[in-house]
Homo-oligomer: A and B are copies of this chain.
Amino acid sequence: MATIGDVARVAGVSRSTASYALSGKRAISADVRGRVEAAVRELGYTPNAGARALATSQTMVIGLLAQFLEDEFAPAMLQYMLGVSNTARELGYDILLSTEEDGTRALRRMTDSRMIDGVVLLNVAEHDERLPILRAAPQPGALVGLPADCTGVDVFDLDFEEAGRLMVDHLHRLGHRELILVSQPEHVVERGGAYVWRLQNAAEEAARVRGVMLHAVFGAARQPEIGGELNAVLEAYPDATGLLLNNEAAAAALPTVLHERGLTAPRDLSVVGRYSDEFARTFSLPYSSIESAPDRLGGMTVRQLVRRIEGDAGPAEPHVVRFVSPELVDRGSTGAPPARA
């Protein structure tokens, strides 16, 4: 494998001159630059990443910590990963991926050994145990998901409060007065998945204000449990005319459930979910939904992280906490409630 020494020898210059010719950090005559570039092409030279990292303390690699927990919905996470990965590549960074269950170990390994210039944490819990480690690390970090304490990190998330209000308002305007909200498993909440109650609390508040009855329940993240639970809740609240889903698995399971019960949306039941358009297309979900914009969120997160890595953010520029406004994508699954029997 060719080194910069080989390039220098072929071009008839010193190693330092070859380096400067390639980096452009000092003025180099056109003649010499040409010879160096020719040598690079001739030898097929590519700089050794380890050596460069050692010399510059920059790896051009971003760590991506994604935990695939048993009770969360894996394909939803993929969308965020792709948003992060693709944007990182655009900005010249590669992705070191960890799917380890023990995120703290992975994070410590990556930061301590200096494999990465910065790190993105997905699916951040309210009191995420990775955060103390991240704050102690020399590399900057950016999160998708809102923890209780945001000091020292940049944070991006969907505005789940607004999403909850939006769902309720939308159905209220159409005339619905009794709704069901199916959230993630309670276990997710206990583990600190704050977005669950952020949406739920806001929805309940909006319902109270509008005089709408809202039945909030937790749902499993898996078949066949979630299917049974959907059936049960539809039976428990027969007068409910609107169904709000903050649970991807529930959305994926709903077509079958409605089929079994002989129901059609929006004729018999209006349905609003919270997931990405990509998700809806992939799983052929015909329900209107709050766009969760994982690709956009992932992209924003990486962009801010790279700004910090490259110091474009002033050395002490305050950390940001930014919420993406939810938008309702109309897929025709909501309408006026059915006339009462």
Which of A59, A78, A222 is packed against the most chain B CB atoms within 10 Å? A78
Q: How far is the CA of A271 from the CA of B138 in the complex (A)?
A: 55
Other than A48-B113, A256-B286, give 14 A-B pairs with Cβ distance below 8 A: A46-B113, A50-B51, A50-B114, A53-B53, A54-B54, A74-B78, A85-B97, A89-B100, A94-B115, A223-B281, A223-B282, A224-B284, A252-B282, A255-B255
Query: CB < 8 Å: which of B54, B78, B89 contacts A75?
Result: B78
Given A99-B82, A259-B255, are A114 and B49 neighbors across the interface (CB < 8 Å)?
yes
Fill in one digit per residue for A177-200: 1 if any B CB lies within 8 Å of its CB, else 0.
Answer: 000000000000000000000000
By a CB distance below 8 angstroms, the chain B residues around A283 are: 223, 252, 283
Q: Which range contains the number of A residues in contact with the other chain?
A: 35 or more
6 A-B interface contacts by CB (under 8 A): A46-B113, A74-B78, A78-B78, A95-B97, A223-B281, A249-B284
Does A68 have its Cβ within 8 Å of any Cβ on chain B?
A: yes
B residues in contact with A82, CB < 8 Å: 68, 74, 99
Task: Assess the A282–B74 pair: CB atoms within 8 A.
Answer: yes
Residues of chain B lying within 8 A (CB to CB) of residue A68: 82
Copy total for this chain? 2
With known contacts A99-B85, A222-B281, A284-B224, A138–B1 Cβ distance under 8 A: yes
A229 to B: closest C-beta gap in Å: 12
Shortest distance from the beta carbon of A85 to any chain B beta carbon, whole Å = 4
Report, nearest first, the 5 A-B pairs whose CB atoms are least far apart: A50-B53, A46-B112, A259-B259, A223-B284, A75-B75
A227–B74 touching, CB < 8 Å: no
Chain B residues contacting A115 (CB-CB under 8 Å) are 49-50, 61, 94
Taking CB atoms, residues of chain B closer than 8 Å to A49 are: 50, 53, 113-115
Question: Which residues on the B side are within 8 Å of A120 (C-beta)?
Answer: none
Identity of the chain B residue whose Cβ is nearest the Cβ of A116 in the assembled complex: B49
Identity of the chain B residue whose Cβ is nearest the Cβ of A90 in the assembled complex: B100
Given the contacts A1-B138, A53-B50, A54-B51, A282 and B89 also touching, CB distance less than 8 Å: no
In Å, the complex CA distance between A282 and B89 comes to 29
Collect the chain B residues with CB atoms within 8 Å of residue A280's CB.
223
Do A253 and B95 contact each other (CB < 8 Å), given the known contacts A113-B46, A114-B48?
Answer: no
**CB pair B94 A95 closer than 8 Å:** no
A94 x B96 contact (CB < 8 A)? yes
Residue A86 interfacial (CB < 8 Å): yes
Closest chain B residue to A280, Cβ basis: B223
Q: Give 1 or 0 for each of A314-337: 1 = CB within 8 Å of chain B CB.
A: 000000000000000000000000
Q: A98 at interface (Cβ–Cβ under 8 A)?
A: yes
Q: How far is the CB of A261 from chain B (nearest CB, A)?
A: 11
